[in-house]
Structure 1
């Protein structure tokens, strides 16, 4: 009884860790996408600044 209860608890914890790892990986992908968009906006802004200064 005690061993099976322990196994159930460990299984639940493992599943929770896996879910959290997936969330963190998805957040990392979102951060990369936002960084990429930010770099594109900076490049566009720099190009516009060059055009207005000419």
Structure 2
């Protein structure tokens, strides 16, 4: 079994920025480029969206 990978806050922010500016590329393509599991990247996206919703209300 693979050890759980941990990522820095800075890496997550850069990854989210890349996803938001991906143009016509898929989330999976960005995940492959960053060598991150696509489900992990999607979880970060959901977390960022939830944080934006709670801070804007």
TM-score range (shorter-chain normalised) is 0.3 to 0.5
Q: TM-score, normalised by structure 1?
A: 0.39
Please identify the structure whose Cα radius of gyration is greater: 1
Q: TM-score, normalised by structure 2?
A: 0.37
Determine which structure has the larger helix proportion and give its number. 1
Higher relative contact order (CA 8 A, sep 6+): 2
